[in-house]
Amino acid sequence: MLLNLKDTKVHYGKAEAVKGVTIEVAEGSVTGLIGNNGAGKSTILKAISGLLSISAGEVWFQDKRIDGMESHDIVRLGVVQIPEGRRLFSYLSVFDNVNIGAYLRKDRAGIKVDLENIWQRFPRLWERRSQRAGTLSGGEQQMLAIGRALMAKPKLLLMDEPSLGLAPLVVEELASIITDINKEGITVLLVEQNAGLTSEITDSVYVLEVGKVVLEGNIRELMNNEVVRRAFLG
């Protein structure tokens, strides 16, 4: 397994937000985390990234225990997160936002090659490379967030609600982008409320309710389960 969470707990003060969660993400997979608001999905991603400390349990990546590590060191290992809302530097240019993704890298030749690949993958970003990121459409901003993350050379890409606020046609394009990224060898852990996107691209899902995993399996086989319906519909 590429990623293992073992009986992981996370607290916000005295409140237990994640209650002994165990999750396995296979290398090369697209694995989904679903559940309604407050289920603990984003908290789990932040714990994996080192943005939140766990209060119990263990987090392992490529047979290396990473809980307790600094977030930038976790990025160096190849765990890269695209946060909910994309969190772009809105007053910087598209070009600068993409370049920021490579801030930990020293391989200038490799950075140049990867930058060219980003422009080829997202020609609209190349066309708008001098624009401020905040002037882009929602779909273009999501492409920019993905491009920035890819510049960090991820082995595991954590995506938090990438379809949020996007039109259906853009969500379809997003599905193709994630599938292509995965085919290139990048494992994806996806937090998503869009049932269509989740069922189209994930290999397996974990369903969370109030901080606990209550169901796991193939999403297409589970779509009629009442627990899964609650996860998408609230």
Q: What is the pLDDT of residue 42?
A: 93
Residue scoring higher pLDDT (166 or 24): 24
Contact 143, 176 (CB under 8 A): no
pLDDT score for 84: 83
**pLDDT per residue over 180-191, tens digit each?**
999 999 999 999
pLDDT in tens, 189-232: 999 888 888 888 998 999 999 899 998 998 878 777 777 777 66
Q: Which amino acid is residue 202, in one-letter code?
A: T
pLDDT class of 4 with cuts at 50, 70, 90 = very high
Q: Tell me the pLDDT of the chain averaged across its residues.
A: 91
Per-residue pLDDT, 197: 87
Is 97:118 a contact under the CB 8 Å cutoff?
Answer: no
The reported pLDDT for the residue numbered 78 is 96
Q: What is the pLDDT of residues 104-162, one digit of tens each?
A: 888 989 999 999 999 999 999 999 999 999 899 988 999 999 999 999 999 999 999 99
Burial class of residue 93 (count of CB atoms within 10 Å of its CB; 0-12, 13-18, 19+): middle
pLDDT score recorded for residue 234: 56
**pTM for the whole thing?**
0.93
CATH number at 1-78+184-234: 3.40.50.300
pLDDT, one tens digit per residue, over 13-37 is 888 999 999 999 999 999 999 888 8
Question: Which tens digits make up the pLDDT trace of 192-204?
Answer: 888 888 888 998 9
- Is it the case that residue 76 has pLDDT exceeding 90? yes
Quick one: average pLDDT of 42-51? 95
- Name residues whose C-beta falls within 8 Å of residue 112's C-beta, 6 or more positions apart in sequence: none
User: What are the residue boundaries of the structural domains of the chain, listed by start?
Assistant: 1-78+184-234
